[in-house]
Amino acid sequence: MSTVAESTLVKFDNVSFSYGNTPILKGANLAIPRGQVVAIMGGSGSGKTTLLRLIGGEIRPTAGTVHVAGEVVHELSRNALFTMRRKMGMLFQFGALFTDLSVFDNVAFQMREHSNLPEDMIRDLVLMKLHAVGLRGAHHLMPVELSGGMARRVALARSIALDPMLMMFDEPFTGLDPISLSVIGSLIRRLTDALGMTSILVTHDVQESLQIVDHVYFLADGKIVAHGTPDEVRQSDAPFVHQFIHGEVDGPVPFHYQARAYADDLGIQSGGN
């Protein structure tokens, strides 16, 4: 019997994870309700992508449990994990399109691979997904003919081809001009609502994500150290949250990578004696 509430889609219970001897997550706790768009923020290398990979079952926690839709991901059989993954869509920053396939065939690809739908139905579904991202008229183009923003929208249409329950976005805004960036942001929000999905966004783009998310989680030192609604985080006095939201160079997330004393590197004696 599942102990995870019906309304919770993703839950981390005391999850730890290490790459070799390097601990990345150290007892992280997190609960993401169904239907929400949430952002995970944290310093570079804090483990945000690792968190997504744990949800997708690509890697296993060294301690604790990751629940998705009431199932413990790392206890699933190979087949069950495969089925679960088909309910997850992923859009990564460098999630390139197949360059030798048209826009239409890029979006149709997964439907053809993973369903027995007849071609006329695939055609209608592909055009519907492309319409949702505003690119039905571009179905015949090749990826090389698209702008960066259009390519990202096609990748988005492709990632929702199989109507996922959960979408994971890793840096979806990187490299986009301001207009394309807000188009992608509002599409993430609108598609999540219209398709009844849940979306997790890993991003450094604070201002854009605060416009579209329901909740923000801050990851630091292997744990979720703070979370709240956009209004709560904007008003937060917590130093870590403040540094992030206001883009301050130094703070709890240090500017300098940990180093020995400067004097030692320069080969001079440090002061005092």
Ligand X SMILES: Nc1ncnc2c1ncn2[C@@H]1O[C@H](COP(=O)(O)OP(=O)(O)OP(=O)(O)O)[C@@H](O)[C@H]1O
Q: Please report, as ranges, the residues that interact with ligand X according to CB under 6 A.
A: 19, 24, 42, 44-50
8 Å CB contact between 230 and 189 = no
Nearer Cβ to ligand X (18/236): 18
8 Å CB contact between 39 and 205 = no
Nearer Cβ to ligand X (73/111): 73
Q: Least CB distance from residue 45 to ligand X, whole Å?
A: 4
CA distance 133 to 180: 12
CA distance 173 to 212: 13
Q: Least CB distance from residue 15 to ligand X, whole Å?
A: 13
Q: Least CB distance from residue 53 to ligand X, whole Å?
A: 7
8 Å CB contact between 56 and 90 = yes
> Any idea which residue has 């826009």 for tokens?
103
3-state DSSP percent of the chain in helix, strand and coil, to 5? 40, 25, 35
Q: Is 85 exposed, middle or buried (0-12, 13-18, 19+ CB in 10 A)?
A: middle
Say how many C-beta atoms besides its own lie within 10 A of residue 33's C-beta.
16
Q: Least CB distance from residue 171 to ligand X, whole Å?
A: 7
3-state secondary structure of 3: coil
Q: 188: closest CA among 165, 169, 170?
A: 169
Nearer Cβ to ligand X (50/102): 50
Nearer Cβ to ligand X (51/191): 51
DSSP state of 97: P
Nearer Cβ to ligand X (22/116): 22
8 Å CB contact between 77 and 125 = no
Q: Least CB distance from residue 16 to ligand X, whole Å?
A: 13
Q: Output the CA angle 206-212-218, nearest 5 degrees.
A: 45
Nearer Cβ to ligand X (24/151): 24
Q: Least CB distance from residue 209 to ligand X, whole Å?
A: 14
Nearer Cβ to ligand X (41/103): 41
CA distance 167 to 170: 10
Q: Least CB distance from residue 220 to ligand X, whole Å?
A: 10
